[in-house]
Structure 1
Amino acid sequence: MKIVVATHNEGKLPEIRNIIEAELGQAAQHIELVSAGSMNLPDPVETGVTFEQNALLKARDVARRTGLPALADDSGLIVDVLGAAPGILSARWSGVHGDDEANIDLLLAQIADIPDDKRGARFNCAAALVVPKHCGEERANGTTPKAEETVKLGEMRGVVIREPRGENGFGYDPIFVPDNQPGRRNANGEKLTSAEMTAEEKNAISHRHKAFVALAPEIKELIG
């Protein structure tokens, strides 16, 4: 079964594929993941005001355009002292979408006076699965049944430090130290930022991993 992942970032596919294989075992061989980018699908405008709404918006758009089951996720950083911010605006916090350095600089400036023990934060992720009904499955009154939709959430808690560390990852990874740490520290004996972890270490504890693990049973149902 082909499932379209609503992303133009090909790097997401191996991570999601690994989760599905780990959770579904041999059944995962019946699933083929392809990206929306590889199918030349446009990115929908994210007009939702929550991670859940944006994940569903993206998955619905892909499912509607392709007639295939679609996966999507939306995630961001929530800093406790900033309420829900940056939240859904994480990727464009500085005003320019995807400018990681500018986003980090602005965030650090905004909480510069906050003491270390008050800099708690969390990454949240919403993962959505939308399964369109077949065109032939119409009700007696001629209407088409709505697509089946499922959303699952994942969270990774930690703290925001004062200076970036690490070269891996993306976004706010260099200034975020997860509470859940691997069994090692950096060369200075400090807890690791997400950007100092290997991809495997980060994926094992990440908000995205948790959300897609929770979604795995719904994916399994697609193949019986």
Structure 2
Amino acid sequence: MTSIVLASGNSGKIREIQAILRNDNILPQSQFNVLEAAETGSTFIENAIIKARNAALHCKLPAIADDSGLVVDALQGAPGVISARYAGVGASDQANLEKLLLEMRDVPTELRTARFICVMVYLRHAADPTPLIAQGVWEGRILHAAAGENGFGYDPVFWLETQQCSSAQLAPEIKNSLSHRGQALRLLTEQLKQR
């Protein structure tokens, strides 16, 4: 069993990743008292690499990091890479969600298309020049009001046409089988097997 540090303090992400990578010993970086790296990149890939390098450097272990967010067509791609801090640095999930709904208040249903993007990066060590990179995309649209109690972040307003419910109304195992993070993790797992 390989020990891999997960460059995240987000409990929702940690639960989802541990559920999918059951054969590895996934250790959250908080266990090593590592501070989260500043997300200074302009893309999901840049931010994921920054976070993975930080975790690998401080923990002296292989590291996995993700950067993910919601991309809304009617908002020209916002909130995008600042999804977790859309309503400001340190904003709660609820504050971010409320800002999104406010920004979208006049957008008709048919123009509320959106997608969750997740980029997963694996580094063997902090100086790894060839990180493994995988990306998942989950298509949906933004509801006019929150629905559901499961999940975190924007899940309550992310409508899935194929499931006829919001992401927050899905059982965790179904969400993991469909989500952007689940897709990226499965692709990353395949790359790890080949390496």
TM-score if structure 2 supplies the norm length?
0.91
CA distance in 1, matches of 2:148, 2:114: 18
Instruction: Tell me, yes or no, if structure 1 residue 159 matches structure 2 residue 141.
Output: yes
CA distance in 2, matches of 1:10, 1:195: 16
SS of the aligned residue for 1:45 comes to coil
Bigger CA drift: 109-118 or 122-131? 109-118
Q: Give the one of 148, 168, 171 matched to 2:153.
A: 171
Q: Is the 8 A contact 1:13 1:34 kept in 2?
A: no
Q: Is the 8 A contact 2:155 2:166 kept in 1?
A: yes
Report the AA paired with residue 41 of structure 2. Answer: G
Bigger CA drift: 145-154 or 69-78? 145-154
Instruction: Tell me, yes or no, if structure 1 residue 12 matches structure 2 residue 6.
Output: no
Q: Give the one of 62, 77, 100 matched to 1:84.
A: 77
CA distance in 2, matches of 1:214, 1:12: 17
Unaligned runs of 5+ in 2: none
User: For 1:50-199, what aligned pairs fall within 5 Å after superposition?
Assistant: 50-132=43-125, 146-181=128-163, 191-199=164-172
Q: Give the one of 168, 174, 178 matched to 1:205.
A: 178
CA distance in 2, matches of 1:121, 1:84: 8
SS of the aligned residue for 2:123 comes to strand
Q: Is the 8 A contact 1:72 1:129 kept in 2?
A: yes
Bigger CA drift: 154-163 or 97-106? 97-106
CA distance in 2, matches of 1:35, 1:213: 19
- Check 1:14–1:92 CA distance in 2 against 1; reply closer, same or farther (3 A cut): closer
After TM superposition, give the deviation of residue 100 of structure 1 in Å: 1.8
Q: Is the 8 A contact 1:132 1:147 kept in 2?
A: no
Report the AA paired with residue 60 of structure 1. Answer: R
Match of 1:186 in 2: none
Report the AA paired with residue 210 of structure 1. Answer: Q
Report the AA paired with residue 5 of structure 2. Answer: V
Match of 2:193 in 1: 220
**Identical aligned pairs, as a percentage?**
40
After TM superposition, give the deviation of residue 101 of structure 1 in Å: 1.9
Q: Is the 8 A contact 2:32 2:59 kept in 1?
A: no
Q: Is the 8 A contact 2:20 2:176 kept in 1?
A: no
CA distance in 2, matches of 1:109, 1:9: 25
Unaligned runs of 5+ in 1: 22-27, 134-144, 182-190
Report the AA paired with residue 83 of structure 1. Answer: Q
Match of 1:185 in 2: none
SS of the aligned residue for 2:137 comes to strand
SS of the aligned residue for 1:107 comes to helix
Q: Is the 8 A contact 1:180 1:205 kept in 2?
A: no
CA distance in 1, matches of 2:142, 2:188: 28
After TM superposition, give the deviation of residue 11 of structure 1 in Å: 4.5
TM-score if structure 1 supplies the norm length?
0.80
- Check 1:81–1:11 CA distance in 2 against 1; reply closer, same or farther (3 A cut): closer
